[in-house]
């Protein structure tokens, strides 16, 4: 789980901000399947493959002229986004629209030095349940590792351990290697660790909703107190009710581009209408 090294320094509370201007990001495809995509593009005499009919999936697949025919997926295209302290922003859109890629850019996992991405404030990211944990270490050892990584003292780590133990309720599993955990158990541990500190900018992918019903209730309470203390929340989820509950603003992404950006109610209404019309 990427409980994110806190990439940026703390700034005075209430002054955090995110500024992205004209950001594009593509992924070259080196997999064997790229060859058949390339053939298809040549056959159709096109440089871009789009799914023009029906609901979309994924970014545009394209062939760049003059680049020995490498096939790319355009994950983000000309994205400009400005977020100020106090905003709770939800990213919505079809599978492969670019939501997670955008979150990863904000977490500096992709393009950490991009000149058109400015993040002002201390960031924590809950993005990936499988990264950041040492699978061979126990839950308890991972807590210590995370505490050391964040520069905590021994006393602070002890406090962290007690706090996460009480929250995650993993009982004897806390002393077993993480590789033996189910996905939900990893989420409990990672979520517990990540939410013991209040970052100024919190980035979340939807996986955190995957715990069982008992965990979800406690997780929501805990998240509420963390979110109340943060300047900015950026979250992606396909659970529209979650976004309606948490977000003041929605950014609707489609094939790597921003289709609509505005107050939650307006964007949700348009998104639902679009989904209904393509059903």
Ligand X SMILES: Nc1ncnc2c1ncn2[C@@H]1O[C@H](COP(=O)(O)OP(=O)(O)OP(=O)(O)O)[C@@H](O)[C@H]1O
CB within 8 Å of 206: residues ≥ 6 apart? 235, 236, 237, 238, 239, 242
Minimum CB distance to ligand X smaller for 73 or for 174: 73
Q: How far is the CB of 238 from ligand X (least distance, A)?
A: 6
Minimum CB distance to ligand X smaller for 72 or for 173: 72
Q: Does 132 bind ligand X (CB under 6 A)?
A: no
Minimum CB distance to ligand X smaller for 97 or for 267: 97
Query: Rounded CA gap, 1 and 190, in Å?
Result: 6
Query: Rounded CA gap, 208 and 242, in Å?
Result: 11
Residues in the chain: 279
**Six-digit token string for 227:** 């979110």
Q: Does 254 bind ligand X (CB under 6 A)?
A: no
Q: How many residues bind ligand X (CB under 6 A)?
A: 13
Q: How far is the CB of 166 from ligand X (least distance, A)?
A: 32
Minimum CB distance to ligand X smaller for 56 or for 120: 56
Q: How far is the CB of 91 from ligand X (least distance, A)?
A: 8
Phi, psi dihedrals of residue 66, rounded to the nearest 5°: 75, 15
Q: How far is the CB of 137 from ligand X (least distance, A)?
A: 26
First to last CA, the chain: 35
**Near ligand X by CB under 6 A: residue from 98, 139, 147, 211:** 98
**Near ligand X by CB under 6 A: residue from 18, 20, 34, 75:** 75
Minimum CB distance to ligand X smaller for 93 or for 192: 93
Q: Does 139 bind ligand X (CB under 6 A)?
A: no
Assign 276 to helix, strand or coil: helix
Q: Does 18 bind ligand X (CB under 6 A)?
A: no
The answer to whether the beta carbons of residues 245 and 100 sit under 8 Å apart is no
Q: Does 59 bind ligand X (CB under 6 A)?
A: yes
Query: Rounded CA gap, 232 and 80, in Å?
Result: 17
Q: Does 90 bind ligand X (CB under 6 A)?
A: no
Segment contacting ligand X by CB under 6 A, of 3-11, 93-101, 132-140, 178-186: 93-101
- DSSP 8-state class, residue 3: -
Query: Rounded CA gap, 276 and 264, in Å?
Result: 18
**Six-digit token string for 207:** 């996986």
Site residues (CB under 6 A) for ligand X? 27, 58-59, 73, 75, 93, 95-101
């Amino acid at each position: 789980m990427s409980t994110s090294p806190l990439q940026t320094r703390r700034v005075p509370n209430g002054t955090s901000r995110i500024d992205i201007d004209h950001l594009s990001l593509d992924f070259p495809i080196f997999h064997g399947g790229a060859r058949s995509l390339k053939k298809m593009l040549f056959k159709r005499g096109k440089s871009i493959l789009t799914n023009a009919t029906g609901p979309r999936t994924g970014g545009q697949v394209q062939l760049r002229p003059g680049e020995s025919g490498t096939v790319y997926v355009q994950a983000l295209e000309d994205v400009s986004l400005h977020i100020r302290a106090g905003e709770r922003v939800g990213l919505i859109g079809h599978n492969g629209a670019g939501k997670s890629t955008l979150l990863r850019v904000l977490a500096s996992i992709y393009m950490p030095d991009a000149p058109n991405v400015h993040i002002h404030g201390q960031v924590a990211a809950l993005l990936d349940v499988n990264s950041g944990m040492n699978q061979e270490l126990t839950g308890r050892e991972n807590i210590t590792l995370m505490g050391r990584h964040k520069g905590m003292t021994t006393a602070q780590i002890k406090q962290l351990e007690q706090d996460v133990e009480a929250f995650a309720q993993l009982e004897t599993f806390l002393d077993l290697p993480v590789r033996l955990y189910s996905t939900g158990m990893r989420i409990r541990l990672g979520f517990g660790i990540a939410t013991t500190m209040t970052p100024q900018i919190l980035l979340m992918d939807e996986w955190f909703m995957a715990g069982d019903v008992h965990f979800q209730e406690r997780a929501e309470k805990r998240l509420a107190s963390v979110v109340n203390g943060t300047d900015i929340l950026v979250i992606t989820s396909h659970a529209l009710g979650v976004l309606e509950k948490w977000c003041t603003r929605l950014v609707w992404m489609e094939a790597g581009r921003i289709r609509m950006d505005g107050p939650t109610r307006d964007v949700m209404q348009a998104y639902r209408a679009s989904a209904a019309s393509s059903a």
